[in-house]
Amino acid sequence: QVLLVESGGGLVKPGGSLTLSCTASGNILSMVAMGWYRQAPGKQRELVATLASDGTPNYADSQKGRVTISRELGKHAVDLRMNSLRPEDTAVYYCNAEGTTVQDMGRITIGDYWGQGTQVTVSS
């Protein structure tokens, strides 16, 4: 199984910046993609950005130009740099990872994993 640990959330003023980090651990054989999603109160979880194993990023249209996703070298980890934050960016941000893992009996499986979420609040 894969454990995702998130950090970097908090309170930021409108127009400010914040960087979220996510590190995956476990019996990871390979990672297909990692990324970030968010969920505001009363709304569905939505894409923020993902990064495929080949380095190809995918950004939600609403985030283009304001966020940058990047990989941390040497480990299964990604960072999300968010700029020009707005109050409507307030949400719980979840790290997501899709990868291949080795299970207890040596089985190789592909799974989709989620972190616990980190709160981002944009307010004066």
63/69: higher pLDDT = 69
For the residues 1-16, what does the mean pLDDT come to?
Answer: 96
The three-state secondary structure class of 2 is strand
Instruction: Kindly tell me if the per-residue pLDDT of 43 is higher than 90.
Output: yes
**Phi-psi map region of 123: left, alpha, beta (phi>0 left; psi -120 to 50 alpha):** beta
Predicted pLDDT at 104: 82
CA distance 54 to 90: 30
For the residues 14-26, what does the mean pLDDT come to?
Answer: 97
pLDDT tens digit sequence for 72-118: 888 899 999 999 999 999 999 999 999 999 988 889 999 999 999 99
CA distance 34 to 102: 18
Predicted pLDDT at 90: 98
Among the listed residues 23, 35, 5, the one whose alpha carbon sits nearest the alpha carbon of residue 98: 35
